[in-house]
Amino acid sequence: MELLKERIYKDGKVFPGDVLKVDSFLNHQIDAELLGKMGEEIYDLFKDCSVNKILTIEASGIALACFAAREFSCPCVFAKKAKTSNISDSVYTTGVHSYTHGVDYNIVVSKEFLNEGDNVLIVDDFLANGAAMNGLISLCEQAGARVVGCAAAIEKVFQNGGNSLREKGYRVESLAKVLEMDGEAGTIVLE
């Protein structure tokens, strides 16, 4: 998606440790017009997949997932990184390691919102090593839901999470692909 690539080149910031900050438009401050177009692009990619649920993980993926869900006219469900007191014990849960934060989470989704027979599209802001998407796939498997695909705003190809998911047979579509980054020089190369 050229519009997203242009924005990454213009406003993205590369830091050591393979960190790409896009918080000025994607996951802290939201450029609603850009995310609307990204939601449309995700819809165009998966419109023939009978999607009836969008699934993401809190917090950075929620905005993009909501814009995609709007295009599909379906609910957006997000996995919480901690079970709160207002969620019943009837949940699906799995462990996920956060590359960005360097911590492990037990993510949960209420069984009320993820069901057998759902056709789920997983959407997130980043796809790096694939831990978050694999965790969300696990939740779908527990529910008996069908994962029709995985969509990411930005895939860090060199971290191999996307290729690993593709090798497992999942359809993975990324709106922008990072081929390489240099945190010392602050440079980035997109596909």
pLDDT recorded at residue 98: 78
pLDDT of res. 30:
96
Q: What is the pLDDT of residue 17?
A: 86
pLDDT of residue 101: 74
Measured CA to CA, the distance from residue 154 to residue 48 in angstroms comes to 22
Residue with tokens 């190809």: 157
> Domains along the chain?
2-147+159-190 (3.40.50.2020)
Alpha helices of the chain — where are they, by DSSP H? 2-11, 32-46, 62-72, 131-143, 161-167
Q: How far apart are CA 127 and CA 71, in angstroms?
A: 21
In the prediction, which pLDDT does 84 show?
63
Peptide bond into 143 cis (omega under 30): no
| Structure confidence at residue 83 (pLDDT) | 58
Whether the full predicted model's pTM is greater than 0.75, yes or no, is yes
Q: Which residues pair with 67 in a beta bridge?
A: none
pLDDT in tens, 50-106: 999 999 999 899 999 999 999 999 999 999 987 565 566 789 999 998 767 788 889
Give the whole-angstrom CA distance, residue 81 versus residue 60. Answer: 12
Distance separating alpha carbons of residues 122 and 54, to the nearest angstrom: 6
Low-confidence ranges of the chain (pLDDT < 70): 83-88, 99
Give the C-alpha separation, 95 to 74, whole Å. Answer: 26
